[in-house]
Every structure is written in C-alpha cells, then in structure tokens.
Amino acid sequence: MSLTTTPGEFPTADPDAKGARPADGAPMQQSFWTDGGQTVWSWLGTVDHKRIAILYAISITAFFFLGGAAAALIRIHLFTPHGLLFSRDTYNKLFTLHGVIMVWFFLVPSIPSTLGNFLLPLMIGARDMAFPKINLLSWYVFVGGALLTVIALLAGGVDTGWTFYPPFSTIYSNSAVTLAAVGVFVVGFSSILTGINFIATIHLLRAPGMKWFRLPLFVWAMYATSMVMILATPVLSTSLLLIIAERLFGMPIFDARIGGDPLLFQHLFWFYSHPAVYIMILPAMGVISEIVTVAARRKVFGYAFMVYAMIAIAVVGFMVWGHHMFVSGMSPYAALVFSFLSFVVAVPSAIKVFNWTATLYRGQITFAAPMMYALGFLGLFTIGGLTGLMLASVPIDVHVTDTYFVVAHFHYIMVGASVSAFFGGLHYWWPKITGRLYPEGWARFAAILMFFGFNFTFFPQFIMGYLGMPRRYAEYPAEFQLYHVMSSTGAMVLAVAYLLPLFYFAYSLRFGEVAPANPWNATGLEWTVPSPPPKHNFDQIPHVENDPYEYHAQGHAPEHGKSIHRGQGDGPVRTPPT
C-alpha cells in the first residue's frame, strides 16, 4: 500500500534545509485544489472538508483585516489625550466593530474552521467529516450571519461594545443593535454545526488502530473545543434572542423598572462568553503541542495529562463565568465561589505550560518559523494566564475592573497566544495545504516582529490599567499619554507583522519551492499523504500502529548536540503497514 508519492524517501530532518527535494521536481500533481473542478461553483458547492477550510480561511482573513483596521484606527486616535480622529460616538462604534468582528468572526472560527477543518479528517485517517453537507452549510451560515452583522456595524454602527449589556443595549442605545445581534445569533449556529461535525467525526471515523490515546493532541483540542461550542453557544443564542425580543417586540425581560434583572443577561452571556475564551485558546494549545514536539523532536511530555488537562479546561471553564461580574452587584458569596473556581481552572492550563516546557527539555530544538511562533505563544500565554489569576481574585479585580489592565490581559490570551498559535499553525501546515514552502527568512522575521510588536502594544496597557486608565474612553488624562503613545506605536509594528505573511504567503503560492509530502519529517497521518492532499485524502484508509509523536524510542531521547539522521531510528515516521 502506498500512501505517499515518495514512498520510503523522507526529506532531511532539519527544517532549515527543507525543500531541498522538490518532490522529484514533478509538477503539482492532482490534488484537492485541481481535482473536483476549477469553476467557482466547484468551490461554492464543494463538500470537501479541505476546500471548505480554504473558504473559511479566505473569509476569516477578510474579517481579521477588517477588525484589525478598526483596531489600528483606535490606536491612531489615542495618540493624543483628546483623540485625533473621531467623535466619542464614532469611537464607541469603532471598538464595538473591532470586538464583535474579532471575537465572533475571526477568533472563534479561526483555528477550528480552517486548520481544524482541513486537518481533522487527515489526522484521524478519514476521507471527510462525518457530515460534509452540514460542513458546507456551516460556512454559508457563517458568511450570511457575519455579513448581516458587518452591515449593521458599518452602515448603522453599534455602540454597546461586543458584550451587548442591557439596559443600554435594550432601552437606551439608538444604534443598529438588533441587526447586529441577529447576525451573531445566526453565526452561532455555524459554530454549533462545526462542533457537532467535529465530535461525530472524531468518535466515528477514526482509522483502524487510531485509539483514543493515539490521537494527536490537536485532535483532542478540537474535541474539547467542540464540546464547548455545542454546550455554550446555544446560551449565547438565548441571551441575544432575549435582547432582540426586548428591543424589537418590547418584551420587558431585563427591564429593572418593573423588577427585571439586567444581571441575568450577564449570567447568560458569560455562560457562553467565558467558555468562548476556551474555544479560542484550546485549539491554539493543540497547534502548539504539534509544533513543539516536532521542533524539539521529542515525544510530548505527559501525553495523557495533556489530554486530561484540555478536557478539564473545557469542563471547568463552564463554571467560572462569574468572574466577569465581580463588581456588577452580584452576590459576594457567589463571587467567592466563582473566584475559587477560576483559580482551579488555572491548574490544567499550568500543567500544559509545564509539559510543553518539559517537552523542550534536552530536545533537538530547531527554530523554524512555526517554532518561533510557538515560543512566542508560551511566553505570551504565561503572562496572560498569570494576569488572569490576578483578575480572578476579587480584591485585585475590583481595583482594575474595566481598565486597560483587563484589556491587556485578554489580548495577551486571545491575540498574543491564540493568534500567534494560529500563525504558527498556518506556517507549519502551509506546505501541506498549498504544496509550497513559504520563505523561511521572512517568516522568522515576521514572527519576531509580531512578538515584539505585540508586547510593545499591550504591556504598557497593563501599567496604565493598573494606574487607573479605564477602557472604552475616547479621551484620557494627559498623564497617560506616554503609555498610549507606546501602545499605539507598538500597534503599528504589530500591523506590519500581521501584513507581512499576507505578502510572502501569496508570493509562495506562485514562486515558493514545491513542498515534499513531509517537509518537517513529522509524525502524524497528515504527513503521509502528498502535499497538497488528494481529494479523497487516502487511497486506502491507513492502519495506525504507533502512538503519536514517536520521534524517538520510549526512554531514548536523542542527546542534545547529536544530529539526527533520517532512517536511523531517531525519527521513526509513522509509516503505514505494507
């Protein structure tokens, strides 16, 4: 049985020199890009998970740069204490635009819908998702809902912030809240459908021999993420539905004048929106686990604990939402409980950070671009996580609630960690997805630039937040100008770092070296198929006989300093039985 076009021959283990063998110099073979038609309809009507992943990638890239443009405008505006560009109203609409687009139309679908969609069937040895048509439907639902909301955000503008808190959103706001909420409501279904598809696929379409504890951690991450998507998203739908009912039909559900409870909305909203943070970070954890192991050429340290930790994060993540409400007038006893549970959820996250670090210990670390992003992730995620603990403790939270400290904290997690991991994953699997190698030098430069630009942007926000600079204001006292100027300058650097990949990725599509099937000499079924994969993934469904990440024999990690030669037992790539 031959799964690869270059059987038996694996390229050099050193990713620096990858691409030395451009797949026998052959022209691009039949792949999902060409097979199945080249017409517009062959893409818009496709049920191939790989093509759907590409559709998602294009749409979320558009949303990413739209939301990013809003962020850039906000930062430019804040160069001076009185604001450079906008009125207060416009400023409110701008940060709402940024938040809504980035959270729901970029971060939530980012890794699951693109990398997850593309890789999940490949990683478990399946030909497609369990419900291919539902998969396509979820993209249409996503685009439809997102467009509705974007129209509302751009044409009318919404000034509630992405959290839609009543009574402002229900009674007082004169902006296009209803339409925006309808759009987000619709996009929620896309999330749910994706989650259902992933879980059903992982349960029922694993290749023979692909036992649960042989799944790559990325697949586990998708599983945990999908749990959260299915169980949390409907409650967001409920909360938005009630907002719409109140705005559109006058159902006075959160109206405090007649005994309604606006805090009830916050409970419902954060029942989704806190777990949604884990929708954003769990996939990133999966990506990092893949990259760290291959870059260090080590088995992942404590595989089982990595799995349990992700499931624990997904489950316990549902019990901590109240830490968003410490100063809202919630019961102090409940705050105590939520505070405790928020500390608990930090434990599995810490386990993961320690295990990644332990995986690197005595590893043969190479610093290709994906690894640069992964290392950036480790640092930024740790800072974000530790400041999260500060916010989980009630007294500190009371002090810094609604300041830039909170803004910095969640950007460290959602942008610093999550987006770094997304870019890392994009670089790591780029050869597999496109069949081309990206320019390594530029990629490393962008990774470093992103790390520094990010810290430059958001670290000053921790300081000014702690000093009392509140979030969501169009103006600020002059004493904070230094921090704001630093932050805004950093944001410009960050913008360049985000734009760079756009150019060199596009360049590589046309001019990049042709990628071999397994440029990283990595384990994992996705590397046993040609790059890019054929339409049906596998000629024959593979039999899996190895645990994941078999970069060295059990207990025989390669010594630091010794080079690895392919075919000498140091990097046994999971090969299909012949």
Partner 1 sequence: MSEASATLHEPFESATRQREALTFGVWLFLASELLLFAGMFLGYAVYRHDHPSAFAEAGRHVNLLFGTINTALLMTSSLSLSVASRAIDRDKPGLSEIGVWITLGLGLLFLIVKGLEYREDLDEHLWPGATFALHAPAARIFFGFYWTMTFVHACHMTIGLGLLSRLVWLARRGRLRANNDSVEATTLYWHLVDIIWALVFACLYLVGR
Partner 2 sequence: MTRREQTEQPGIWLGPILAWAALLTLLALNVVLAGLPLGVFKLPANLAVAALQAIVMGLVFMRLNRASWLVRLCAVSAFLWISLMFILAFADTLTRV
Binding mask 525-544 for partner 2 (x = CB under 8 A): --------------------
Structure token digits, residue 509: 């599509």
**Judged by CB under 8 A, which stretch of 155-163, 262-270, 348-356, 556-564 contacts partner 1?**
262-270
Whole-number Å distance between alpha carbons of 89 and 97: 12
Q: Which residue in 9, 14, 35, 261 binds partner 2 (CB under 8 A)?
A: 261
Which residues between 186 and 225 bind partner 2 (CB under 8 A)?
A: 203
Handedness of CA 270, 271, 274, 277 (dihedral sign): negative
| Residue 528: DSSP 8-state | G
Q: Which residue in 119, 129, 285, 469 binds partner 1 (CB under 8 A)?
A: 129
The nearer residue to partner 1, 267 or 298, going by C-beta atoms, is 267
Binding mask 228-257 for partner 2 (x = CB under 8 A): ---x---x----------------------
Handedness of CA 524, 525, 531, 532 (dihedral sign): negative
SS3 (DSSP) at 403: strand
- Taking CB within 5 to 8 Å according to partner kind, which of partner 2, partner 1, none is near residue 435? none
Asked if omega into 11 is within 30° of 0 (cis), the reply is no
Does 271 engage in binding with partner 1 (CB under 8 A)? yes
Does 156 engage in binding with partner 1 (CB under 8 A)? no
**Judged by CB under 8 A, which stretch of 176-184, 198-206, 416-424, 542-550 contacts partner 1?**
198-206
Whole-number Å distance between alpha carbons of 128 and 134: 12
Does 250 engage in binding with partner 1 (CB under 8 A)? yes
Q: Which residues, in sequence order, are bridge partners of residue 403?
A: 470
Closest residue by Cα to residue 14 from 257, 430, 366: 366
Q: Which residue in 40, 155, 258, 304 binds partner 1 (CB under 8 A)?
A: 258
The nearer residue to partner 2, 78 or 193, going by C-beta atoms, is 193
Residue with tokens 């949390």: 232
- Taking CB within 5 to 8 Å according to partner kind, which of partner 1, partner 2, none is near residue 241? partner 1
- Taking CB within 5 to 8 Å according to partner kind, which of partner 1, partner 2, none is near residue 378? none
Q: Which residue in 159, 246, 397, 526 binds partner 1 (CB under 8 A)?
A: 246
Which residues between 337 and 356 bind partner 2 (CB under 8 A)?
A: 337-338
CB 538 within 8 A of CB 205: no
Whole-number Å distance between alpha carbons of 539 and 554: 31
Report in angstroms how near the CB of residue 4 gets to partner 1 at its nearest.
21
Which residues between 18 and 57 bind partner 1 (CB under 8 A)?
A: 47
Q: How many residues are there in the chain?
A: 578
Whole-number Å distance between alpha carbons of 316 and 305: 15
Binding mask 321-340 for partner 2 (x = CB under 8 A): xx--x---xxxxxx--xx--
- Taking CB within 5 to 8 Å according to partner kind, which of partner 1, partner 2, none is near residue 532? none
Apex 576 CA angle, 574 and 578, nearest 5: 140
Whole-number Å distance between alpha carbons of 361 and 296: 8
Report in angstroms how near the CB of residue 192 gets to partner 1 at its nearest.
5
The nearer residue to partner 2, 45 or 329, going by C-beta atoms, is 329
Does 204 engage in binding with partner 1 (CB under 8 A)? yes
Structure token digits, residue 16: 């620096």
Which residues between 265 and 284 bind partner 2 (CB under 8 A)?
A: 267, 271
Does 330 engage in binding with partner 1 (CB under 8 A)? no
Number of Cβ within a 10 Å radius of residue 114: 26
Q: Which residue in 41, 174, 257, 555 binds partner 1 (CB under 8 A)?
A: 257
Q: Which residue in 156, 234, 302, 572 binds partner 1 (CB under 8 A)?
A: 234
Handedness of CA 190, 274, 235, 183 (dihedral sign): negative
Does 239 engage in binding with partner 1 (CB under 8 A)? yes
Whole-number Å distance between alpha carbons of 101 and 348: 29
CB 158 within 8 A of CB 100: yes
* Residue burial 226-248, b: 16+ Cβ < 10 Å; e: rest: bbbbbbbbbbbbbbbbbbbebbe
Closest residue by Cα to residue 292 from 378, 393, 164, 170: 378
Handedness of CA 469, 474, 477, 479 (dihedral sign): positive
Binding site for partner 1 (CB under 8 A): 47, 121, 126-132, 134, 192, 195-197, 199-201, 203-205, 230-235, 237-239, 241-242, 245-246, 249-253, 255, 257-261, 264, 267-268, 271, 541
Binding site for partner 2 (CB under 8 A): 203, 231, 235, 261, 263-264, 267, 271, 318-319, 321-322, 325, 329-334, 337-338
